[in-house]
Amino acid sequence: MNRMMAIVEREMRKFFRSPTLMIMSLMMPILQLVIMGNAFGGKIVGCRVAVVDHDRGPQAVKLREAFAAIAVNIKTFKTIEYQSEVQAREDVRTGKVDGAIVIPEQYSRRVYAKDAPQLGFVTDNSDQFTSGSLEGEMQLVVDALNAPLIQPRMANAIALEIVELYPYVNYMKFLLPATVALAMYISVMIGGGILYIDDKSRGVHEGYLATPITKLELVFGMNLAGAIKAVLSGICLTVIGSLMAGVGVIFHPEPMLGLFCMILATSMAFNGMMFLLMVRVNDPLVPRATFGILNTLLFYPSGAMYPVASFPGWLRAIAVVDPFTYCIHGFKAVLLKDGGFAAIQFDLLFLFSFGIATLLIAAGLFKRTL
């Protein structure tokens, strides 16, 4: 036991003496949280829409007034007058404007005559986010114009009442669970992968192997140290990320306990997995080369960025065995939903079992000799 703790002591002293690991394992996830959290999920504003008015009647004026209201209120787009429909379409293609609305001749008359009036909207659908947003705004304008001036006393259309269980979840909050998981993964990758192989190639392990330390003491010592580092990274990023994203559950005891259990289980699972992957590796280039591959292979299929439900079958199969899936689900359940232990018990069970299983396999594969 003392010998195992000597390994842990050495690793932890190195960890605190050289803060690079801590800083680097936190830096990328925090940057991701800040940049992606602000870049994605925000409302689109300031687009330019060309208006080609062939009608110039009262209904066309009403429509243009509605556009003007959008330009000064929610500011999704502002309008630019065009005389030529051909020029407007060309400018959409070349990116000078983001869309073009065409009010045809006789539009006002058709509205009054209820004779199937139509508006044309040309969009650049190579950018689905912008075109989708503009289409949405245009549809709202059209719906508002179509609405009867006097509402009937008895509604004759089916209405869907949406009840949101949680307060508004912006993209930064949505990213937070993935960011915590990523910070722990990077910590394990650097501390348990890169440094482990570097120590091996520098001959540090040769020094250990010449002492009476047992195989299990050595394996558990290195893994315990790796798990402690990952837990520290996880705690730091949970606190920093929650404060940045405005998630308040970290100040309540029960979610705090749930988060700690999730961090513990995740660190075990990630460490076990990394040790299993690296147990027979000797070349220091291998962990560096596989860093990006593993990141892509494990992080993206987990539902961190996009729902697993939309994946094809083979990608869902990866998600099922991917510890990231359960880690992110568990962190979401606690951080965003305050779901309590009932919501994370399966995640905890999977992660602990995965960690123990991979560690035991790795211990079997670990060679007590060079």
Partner 1 sequence: MTGNAAARGAGVRPEAISVDRIVKRYGDFEAVKGVSFSVAQGEIFGLLGPNGAGKSTLIRMMTTLIPATAGKALVAGYDVARDPDAVRRLIGVIPQALTSDPDLSVEENLSIYAKLYSVPRAQREKNIASVLEAVDLSKWRQAQTKTLSGGMRRRLEIARGLVHNPRIFFLDEPTTGLDPVSRIAVWEMLNNLKSDRDLTMLLTTHYMEEADKLCDRIAIVDHGTLVALGTPMELKHSVPGANVVEVHFERESPEWGARLEKLEGVQSVQAESAGFYRVLTSSGSRTTMQLVEMATQLGETLSSLSVQNTTLDDVFVHYTGRQLRDEQVKPVNYMMPPRPGMQP
Interacting residue ranges for partner 1, rule: CB under 8 A: 2-3, 5-7, 9-10, 13-14, 17-18, 202-204, 206-213, 369-370
Q: Which is closer to partner 1, CB of 62 or CB of 202?
A: 202
- Nearest distance from C-beta of residue 291 to partner 1, angstroms: 23
Tokens of 315: 């990608």
CB of 18 to partner 1, least distance (A): 5
Q: 135 or 198: whose CB is closer to partner 1?
A: 198
Residue placing its CB nearer to partner 1 in the complex, 174 or 208 = 208
- Residue closer to partner 1 by CB (options 201, 353) is 201
* Shortest spacing between CB 221 and partner 1, in angstroms: 10
Please say which residue, 228 or 343, places its beta carbon nearer to partner 1.
228
CB of 6 to partner 1, least distance (A): 4
Minimum distance of partner 1 from residue 19's CB (angstroms): 11
Backbone angles phi, psi at 78, to 5 degrees: -125, 155
Q: What's the CA angle centered on 311, arms 161 and 36, to 5 degrees?
A: 75
Element (H, E) at 200: helix 195-202
How many beta carbons lie within 10 A of that of residue 96, not counting itself? 13
Q: Which of 102, 103, 101, 111 is nearest to 149 (CA)?
A: 111
Q: Whose Cβ is closer to partner 1: residue 16's or residue 112's? A: 16
Q: Shortest gap between Cβ of 368 and partner 1 (angstroms)?
A: 8
DSSP state of 249: G
Q: Which residues pair with 47 in a beta bridge?
A: 77
Which residues are 52's β-sheet partners? 82, 102
Smallest separation (angstroms) from partner 1 to the CB of 239: 26
Q: Which is nearer to partner 1, 1 or 155 (CB)?
A: 1
366 in Cβ contact with 215 (< 8 Å): yes
Amino acid at site 64: R
Query: For 136, phi and psi rounded to 5 degrees?
Result: -60, -45
In 3D space, the residue among 344, 37, 339 whose CA is nearest the CA of residue 166 turns out to be: 339
Q: Which of 143, 277, 293, 294 is nearest to 223 (CA)?
A: 277
Spatial separation of the C-alpha atoms in residues 198 and 208, rounded to whole Å: 14
CB of 206 to partner 1, least distance (A): 5
Given the complex with partner 1, which of 3 and 337 has the nearer CB atom? 3
Residue 59's contacts (CB-CB under 8 Å, 6 or more residues apart) are 107, 108, 111, 112, 117
One-character DSSP codes across 66-89: HHHHHHHTT-SEEEEEES-HHHHH
The Cα 355–Cα 272 span in angstroms is 5
